[in-house]
Amino acid sequence: MAENTNQPGTDLPGDSTPGRSASAQAARPQVVVIGGGFGGIEAVKKFKGEEVDVTLIDRSNHHLFQPLLYQVATAGLVPSDIARPLREIFRRQENVEVVLSEVRQIDVQARRVITEDLVVPYDFLVLACGARHSYFGNPEWEQFAPGLKNIVDAVSIRTRMLRAFEIAEKAVDEAERNAAMTFVIVGGGPTGVEMAGAISEIARHTMTRDFRRIHTAKAKVIVIEGAPRILAGFAPGLSESAKRQLESIGVEVHEGIHVTNVTAEGVEIKGGQFIPARTVVWAAGNAAAPLGGTLGVPIDKAGRVIVNEDLTIPGRPEIQVIGDMACFTHQTGKPLPGVSPAAMQMGRHATRNVLETLAGGRPMNFHYVDKGSLATIGRNKAVADLNFVRFGGFLAWIAWAGIHIFYLVGFRNRFVVMADWIWNYFSFYKGSRLITGLQDGGNALHHPQPGSKPLSATPITLMPTSVATTDEKR
């Protein structure tokens, strides 16, 4: 049993798990899970009814269904449709305590988790902190090309996308208008492909009647992928199918091309070519949460902790690392894919290892069961690799939608998302087209992104008849 070694006079805040008495903490093993993503949630759920006390620590108060985050970024869903408060999820699991705090350090010698305002002792620790987007040594690009990992990212991208159309509507210079209506997605993995398809759909269908001076259907959506093909984790035939489906909805796909610079004006690619674009979305790489680097064990170049076959770390059988934080190569020789099924299986396995250890046994080796992969391109368009069969098109899209509905947390979220999708399918309506974060009484449209050139000072003369009439847009 871990002992609290926080001595009087230290600078560390707190000295125990909040909400539990010292006697209660001494009575049962203390399990701390850091991270409320897919892996962390699964690990905590499996402790239900067990004689342990579980503390779940996260700097956000909600679990986020990340596979649908791109739909928040493209105005298809609202954040509450794909998120659920952690306290609500575990309100009936009496051996679980939820703590909203950011972890600063892990004292592996004293078995303590040190947060910004607490010190939480543990007997067993499960690290499930996830990952953040990586700019491959160019962090300055983030201000011009945000990634997509949380709700703040999604709302920011949604605002940039919608604001770009507003800028194009007011632009008097053709080059400026074209740049505003060019959307570049850096990275051709599932997130990049899904983002590209969704932006194309909202431009070609949802907003065609909303503007008077621009044809939104003429918006240019470009995917830039450094690998030889998009969706590199899928079979080559499915990658080619995805490319064809993207091109059929007007998306330009560039493979085997690397981005060399990102500015407020656009994207520069290898060879010196510059693509003017006001909206750039980064979907090209991930780096594990930096907390793994504080454990004193080897990590890979992406910051993932190199774990043992049983998910524990070298020399510390009481600590397990799962999900995007873990570099598990024992099964295939390569790290497992950073997908939710892998994190969920790891979470369940971590709980089994803790319970097995408490019963006097030893941690068991982990084995990942790959149930297949899916990626959507847009309406009626997707690719699916279910291991025993591979296919694309409408059936793949139905499979993708059904599986995502099934894995959403909570009946309310499942019902609302399904209802929204059905309504959107028949109406092409996306009701979350809200530009938020405006400043100065709503004049933020006049404030360009950092380093970008302002709109032309030439005034626009409003005419009774639109430059682009309704008939022309059809």
Chain segment 99-120, per-residue pLDDT in tens: 999 999 999 999 999 999 999 9
How many percent of the chain have pLDDT more than 70?
Answer: 86
Predicted local distance difference test score (pLDDT) of residue 256: 96
Q: Is the pLDDT of residue 442 over 90?
A: no
Give per-residue pLDDT as tens, 379-411.
999 999 998 999 999 999 999 999 999 999 889
Angle at 363 between CA 65 and CA 6, to 5 degrees: 80
Q: Is the pLDDT of residue 329 over 50?
A: yes
Side-chain-facing half-sphere of 215: CA atoms under 13 Å: 11
Residue 324: pLDDT band (50, 70, 90) is very high
In 3-state terms, what secondary structure has residue 345? helix
Who has greater pLDDT, 40 or 427? 40
Q: Are 365 and 329 in contact (CB under 8 A)?
A: no
Distance of CA 360 to the CA centre of its chain: 38
Task: Tell me the C-alpha distance between 136 and 187, whole Å.
Answer: 13
Predicted local distance difference test score (pLDDT) of residue 4: 40
Predicted local distance difference test score (pLDDT) of residue 428: 80
Q: Are 79 and 155 in contact (CB under 8 A)?
A: yes
Angle at 339 between CA 335 and CA 344, to 5 degrees: 100
Phi, psi of 473 (to 5 degrees): -80, -20
In 3-state terms, what secondary structure has residue 354? helix
Fold for the domain defined by 22-59+101-133+287-358: FAD/NAD(P)-binding domain (3.50.50)
Q: Is the pLDDT of residue 431 over 90?
A: no
Give per-residue pLDDT as tens, 28-39.
999 999 999 999
Q: Output the average pLDDT for the chain.
A: 88
**pTM for the model:** 0.85
Q: Is the pLDDT of residue 469 over 60?
A: no
Side-chain-facing half-sphere of 333: CA atoms under 13 Å: 0
In 3-state terms, what secondary structure has residue 302? coil
Q: Is the pLDDT of residue 463 over 80?
A: no
Provide mean pLDDT across the span 245-249. Answer: 96
Give per-residue pLDDT as tens, 151-165.
999 999 999 999 999
Classify domain 139-284 by CATH number: 3.50.50.100
Predicted local distance difference test score (pLDDT) of residue 20: 56
From residue 138, give the alpha-carbon distance in Å to each of 133, 306, 365, 402. Answer: 11, 25, 37, 38
Who has greater pLDDT, 135 or 448? 135
Give me the active site residues, please: 194
Q: Are 31 and 123 in contact (CB under 8 A)?
A: yes
Predicted local distance difference test score (pLDDT) of residue 27: 80
Give span(s): CATH 3.50.50.60, the chain: 22-59+101-133+287-358
Give per-residue pLDDT as tens, 335-345.
999 999 999 99
Give span(s): CATH 3.50.50.100, the chain: 139-284
